[in-house]
Amino acid sequence: MSERVLVLGATSGIAEATCRVWAKQGASLVLVGRSADKLAAVAADLRARGARLVETAVADLDDTARHPQLLADSINALGGLDVAYLAHGIMGEQQQSEEDFNAAAQVLYTNFLSPVSLCTWLSNYFVKQGRGVLAVISSVAGERGRKSNYVYGSSKAGLSAFLDGLRNRVDRQGVTVLTIKPGPVKTAMTMGMKGSEKFADPDKVAQSIVDAIHAKKDVLYVPGIWKIIMFVIRHIPESVFKKLNL
């Protein structure tokens, strides 16, 4: 039987690249996203690349009340579930978030509370099943707050901490929780950002994610150099760090 994968936020740049890897492996996929047109285009591409099954569902993942039915319907469409991949999120505008709490709250809701709702339902499903992989995109930005993006970073810090605890709860019950911490990647989210020409290639990032899922890793820094970079950044003394222009 092919791998059965649920992708939440399937039209994001990293998710789309990851789905291309799964399609070549003959996986069965349910893609969830906001835009029917974008989902249809991604689904057609994945079918052409060899995916065994591709179904789509249009949903606003900020609508947490809809999560239980959405997830149950998706699993029924797949005939079961092996991997749940959470890839949705927003960068937000840091300046706007500094001036307007509602803008900051939207970033925190989409990047933290929505994934917490989905992970809670999915992890309980996998525990009952006795197996499964929950792979979630967090970010290296969550490892230390910086003035340039501390609202986005704090949403990812909260998500990473939640996944740490969830892993500690469900690992002994046959469930793998993978926290994915990408550095900057060339996607629509980062288009136009300073230095974007040097950002990581999404196809290489995607292959690393699929490999980590198959290896049942706990945490993935991608590209791997970010594990070293963040180790250094976390250990810069606060007296020095607060004077840096980051």
> Out of 85, 150, 152, 221, which one is annotated catalytic?
152
What is the spatial distance between Cα 145 and Cα 119, in angstroms, rounded to a whole number?
24
C-beta of residue 182 within 8 angstroms of C-beta of residue 156: no
| Beta-bridge mates of residue 5 | 29, 83
| Beta-bridge mates of residue 31 | 7, 56
What six digits make up the tokens of 119?
């992970």
**Which residue, among 110, 114, 180, has the nearest Cα to 141 in the 3D structure?**
180
Say if residue 58 is exposed, middle or buried (CB neighbours under 10 Å; 0-12, 13-18, 19+): middle
Helical H segments across the chain, by residue range:
13-24, 36-49, 67-78, 94-99, 101-108, 114-129, 150-170, 202-215, 225-234, 238-241
What is the spatial distance between Cα 113 and Cα 140, in angstroms, rounded to a whole number?
19
Query: Omega into 115 within 30° of 0, i.e. cis?
Result: no
Q: How far does Cα 233 stand from its chain's mean position? A: 23
Active site residue 125: no
Positions annotated as catalytic residues are 152
